[in-house]
Structure 1
Amino acid sequence: MKRLLILLVLSLLLATGCTTVAVQTNQTPFEVLTSSTVNREGVSVPIHADYILLYYAADWCPYCIEYADQLKQTYTQLKRLYGSSMELVFVGHVNDQSNDDLLSFLDQGSYPFAYLPYEKRAQSGVMELLGEHRFYIPGFLLLDGQGNILASSNGETKDDYVRDRPIYHLQSLLIQDCASCQK
């Protein structure tokens, strides 16, 4: 009887010790964005920058393909000048259906920057940030380190579209930041 009781208690302890506890994360959409980015190989690349450029584009867009070399050069120059103060993250297009669509674009241009995987887009809210019925690509949104939108490639109308407006805005902010630095 004593043995049976011990076996019962041990069985109960083993059974309860092996239960899986679901860990619930209460990340904000911006935290999902900054913690979920990866490189083309799928290696995590967390973002800890003062400014983030979100890049919207697609592999079927001729203007996006045409812009590839200029974008890579611009990104390289920005990183050289401002280092970890800024980061560019590719987020794709609203018509993307899978991660393969994003990787196809990145592979086509051999881009050096990270991207937000398709399965994280809904949680991060990157497509909702556009806030406009039609967002022209290639296009950018500039976010500050808290996720606030500082600049957009789009305007009120198609005629207000300026692809590099967020890049110009970023450069002016970073120049001001550098000018106010104590040396």
Structure 2
Amino acid sequence: MNSNNVFSPIRYLTTTTRSCSGLCGPAVRLLMQHYGLTEKDVKASGPKGNVLKSDVADVIKASNLKPIAAATPSHEPITSQKDVMKHSTQKTKEKFVDIPLSNIRATIARRLTQSKQSIPHAYLSAVVYADAVLNLQAKLLNDGIKVSLNDFIIKAAGLALRAVPDVNVQYSAETQQVIYMPMVDISVAVATPNGLITPIVTSADILSVQDISVRVKELAARARDNKLMPNEFQGGSFTVSNLGMFGSVDQFTAIINPPQSAILAVGGNRVELDKDLKTRNRFRSEHFLADVTLKKRGVDKVSVNNLKDKVLLLYFSAGWCGSCKMLTPKLKKFYEELGETERSNMEVVWISRDKTAQDQLDYYEKAMPPWCYIPIGDPNIQGFLEKYSVKVIPALKLVNDKGEVLSETVRADVEGCVKNDAMRCYKKWKDMY
């Protein structure tokens, strides 16, 4: 580009711009093209009538010629900023949006960065077969006691810390001392809309698994509502971080939460065959709704065993939503058009966005068949909204027992089907399992 901010012309040398025959060399030919000359303009002085470079130079000097720009093959050269914009063929949009960090996210980032830089992390991993604890969990469920696999893990960690007090410690950076903790207090990582927080289950070693379950649910709900007191999430001697509910996460590395000295990262589970071709559970084969309170018309507690190996729809909607009031009758009609066998092998779980429990029940009784629903107030509702990225209702998701989405087009399938088409859609969904 020259000093006048004009782009220098681009020269294209093509077969259509040849200026002489084979009686001149490439350098001579290029020089002639550069000044717009042809054989007829230059008197050849070389052997056998060849045009020499000096012949061309004599003509240039005698005629006081200046270089010219060769014509471009298909378009004029771009010579200004305006031309650049004129030749643009696609409008662009903003590629990113700056979102300021909340105070809690900034604190999390600062503390964990400091932890990773100042605390020497040593990672160990182990495979744990969960058959026995899953069998115990199922037995307790039959007795009406609902606890999660994570509750057992917290209890086991509590007993291990009591047995190995050298791990049940905090480190004081101010005094540079290791502090042995008199109690076994375990932090549980909970994701909230504002960021990650670690409420503490105090005396985890002496609490029953059922008591731990109640305590964790209470703390998680208050954490999501931003109602925890400082003493309920600051301190502790150990943290359990569980990503097993996401199914595909086998293992991960976690960062120690200072002033604690250790953290347990729990991955997912898979079912394996042993050498005798018998199945063994490696965290976790339980249904992704195993820890969720489910109800339906006439049934106060729905066993998750009733959902296993079925076509499963998650229906996000609310009674106040106009679009939901249009979709719900269509989904109900679709469901009722299936045969009895197909309905027995399909479940719809309604995840309500109603504001109160009474609003939820009123809409359920008025508009819905005896589908399962998660009662208002259950902290898992917010978790599912985040997990499945539900920003707008109504929304329908076809999922498997691990909670993995098999189809995002369920709403279109339901709205597009007419009479006698319900079976076709059902078979299409069934083939995805």
**Common fold, TM-score beyond 0.5?**
yes
Aligned to 1:32: 291
Q: What TM-score, normalized by structure 1, do the two folds share? A: 0.61
Contact 2:315 2:351 in 1 (8 A): yes
Alignment of 1:109-128 (within 5 A): 109-122=367-380, 125-128=383-386
Aligned to 1:135: 392
In 2: Cα distance, 1:170 partner to 1:143 partner: 13
Structure 1 residues 75, 172: closer, same or farther in 2, change over 3 A? same
Contact 2:357 2:376 in 1 (8 A): yes
1:59 equivalenced with 2:319 (yes/no): yes
The partner residue of 2:361 within 103, 107, 111 is 103
Deviation at 1:31, TM superposition (A): 1.8
Q: What TM-score, normalized by structure 2, do the two folds share? A: 0.29
Aligned to 2:301: 44
Aligned to 2:401: 145
In 2: Cα distance, 1:74 partner to 1:163 partner: 10
Aligned to 1:174: 430
In 1: Cα distance, 2:300 partner to 2:339 partner: 20
Give the aligned residue type for 1:64. Answer: C
Q: How many positions carry a matched residue from both structures?
A: 146
Deviation at 1:55, TM superposition (A): 0.7
Alignment partner of 1:55: what SS? strand
Q: Which has the larger radius of gyration?
A: 2
Give the aligned residue type for 1:120. Answer: D
In 1: Cα distance, 2:413 partner to 2:393 partner: 8
Deviation at 1:58, TM superposition (A): 1.1
Contact 1:32 1:124 in 2 (8 A): no
Deviations 1:2-27 (A, max 9, x none): xxxxxxxxxxxxxxxxx984523499
In 1: Cα distance, 2:339 partner to 2:393 partner: 25
Deviations 1:155-174 (A, max 9, x none): xxxxxx83738x88653032
Give the aligned residue type for 1:147. Answer: G
The partner residue of 1:162 within 395, 402, 412 is 412
Structure 1 residues 121, 151: closer, same or farther in 2, change over 3 A? farther
Deviation at 1:75, TM superposition (A): 1.6
Alignment partner of 2:289: what SS? helix
Alignment partner of 1:145: what SS? coil
Contact 2:311 2:429 in 1 (8 A): no
Structure 1 residues 42, 98: closer, same or farther in 2, change over 3 A? farther
Contact 1:151 1:169 in 2 (8 A): no
Aligned-pair RMSD on alpha carbons? 3.5
Deviation at 1:152, TM superposition (A): 2.4
In 1: Cα distance, 2:396 partner to 2:426 partner: 11
In 2: Cα distance, 1:68 partner to 1:31 partner: 26
Contact 1:142 1:150 in 2 (8 A): yes
Aligned to 1:74: 334
Deviation at 1:53, TM superposition (A): 0.3
Contact 1:121 1:127 in 2 (8 A): no
Please state which structure has a larger fraction of its residues in helix.
Answer: 1
Residue segments in structure 2 that go unaligned for 5+ positions in a row: 1-205, 214-241, 246-287, 416-421
% of aligned pairs identical? 20
